[in-house]
Amino acid sequence: AMGILKSKLIQLEEEKRKKEESDIKGVYVEAGWGNQIRSYVLHPYKMVKDHRTNYESSNPDAVLNGDLDGFIMSALKTGK
């Protein structure tokens, strides 16, 4: 009887862990062209656009060098 109870408790803990893991991971979306986060245009004009927040920067060189503050603030404001 104790063995059955122990196995049921282990099974419940495993189900709980799997549910928490799936909640953290969310829905799996395959990487593809329709799922891009940001666009970089370097010629004939210069622009970087975040497609999640619609934030745009006209200085892609700074963005490529790590200046992401505008994108981060925009994401925090929109909750994305």
> pLDDT tens digit string along 47-62?
999 998 999 999 999 9
CB neighbour list of residue 29: distance below 8 Å, 6 or more residues apart: 35
Helix or strand holding residue 56 (H, E): strand 56-57
Q: Is residue 57 a contact partner of residue 72, using CB atoms and an 8 Å limit?
A: no
| Residues 45/59, Cβ–Cβ less than 8 Å | no
The domain spans of the chain are 33-78
Query: What predicted TM-score, i.e. pTM, was given to this entire model?
Result: 0.56
What is the largest distance, in Å, between two alpha-carbon atoms of the chain? 75
pLDDT of residue 6: 93
What pLDDT score does 80 carry? 66
